[in-house]
A = this chain, B = another copy of it.
């Protein structure tokens, strides 16, 4: 869904008319836009003061209020009337949805839009995106991101069967866990594991495979959204522990067999410790999900794909 910057229709940008509109907005005359619109409807030029946007292939209109020509001083009531008239037009044209991009400084326009049924689709940093479904039946607009991604790294020292574990300062006290944390935006799963292990323990490591995926909804730490928690297998590059005292109470290289048996841990850590023990004994290929980078179909970018390894002759 791409769109150019929305703005008022060309007519408005004519300086005389525009300064008239601006001055009336300043005078807090909330009828201005409406009447200006009506005047122009009957005029020779057949244009009116309406919001303009770009139309996507689904029949949705996108209007961006951060165009340089958009009057940043516009009041809540004036924008409400402008939007109402624009909505009348879009409905008459059979548009199915309106996307409204609102810079945070113009948030009063979001308040005005809510009077017409707009709700937040999402907001980030200095911009909110509102949406209104105009089509038949329930909204078919796609939702926004629903999951945070948490990644832990199980750093296994194959020479002695030990694994790097920490005890959290805040959450699960006295429970051994693999160090980990939330992915930064745009960060790959393996990169999060390596970064978090280093930040929490001071140990450098490298990504080997993905071991497990957990999905949990209404997650307490995810602002009511869902959490996807992935545990990776890593190999140590350094061994000296220098753990973060802000986050951790303890940090140790613990025997995998001990971690698999102890009660001082979480069920998922026990499970992965048992997987790792099995891998130590029978080869990690019995527990790994291998990673490959594959070119994305359209974007010229790459994506990361994980699945069980196939015999070589089957790979493309």
Given contacts A149-B228, A226-B145, A305-B213, contact A104 B126 (CB under 8 A): no
* A156 contacts chain B at the CB level, 8 A cutoff: no
Q: Mark A271-303, 1 if CB is under 8 A from B, else 0.
A: 110110110000000111100001111110101
By Cβ-Cβ distance, the 5 closest A-B pairs, closest first, are A123-B123, A107-B111, A120-B123, A107-B110, A212-B307
Chain A contact residues (Cβ within 8 angstroms of B): what range?
Answer: 35 or more
Chain B residue numbers with a CB within 8 Å of A182 are 142-143
* C-alpha gap A79/B307 in the complex (Å): 53
Listed in ascending order, the chain A residues whose CB lies under 8 Å from chain B are 57, 76, 104-111, 114-115, 118-129, 142-149, 170, 172, 182-186, 188-189, 210-218, 220-223, 225-226, 228, 266-268, 270-272, 274-275, 277-278, 286-289, 294-299, 301, 303-308, 310-311, 314-316
Q: Can you offer 28 A-B residue contacts whose CB atoms are under 8 A?
A: A104-B118, A104-B119, A105-B114, A107-B108, A110-B128, A114-B126, A120-B123, A121-B223, A122-B223, A123-B128, A143-B184, A144-B225, A145-B146, A145-B225, A146-B148, A147-B148, A149-B226, A186-B226, A189-B215, A210-B213, A212-B305, A212-B306, A216-B296, A228-B228, A270-B316, A275-B307, A286-B308, A288-B308
Q: Which residues of B contact A215 (CB under 8 A)?
A: 188-189, 303-304
Q: Which of B110, B221, B301, B315 contacts A104 (CB 8 A)?
A: B110
Contact status of A119 and B126, CB under 8 A, knowing A145-B146, A226-B145, A226-B185: yes
- Copies of this chain, count: 2
Nearest B residue to A219 via CB reads B299
CB pair A310 B275 closer than 8 Å: yes
Q: A278-B310, A301-B218, A305-B271 are in contact. Are A120 and B143 (CB under 8 A)?
A: no
A125 to chain B, nearest CB (A): 5
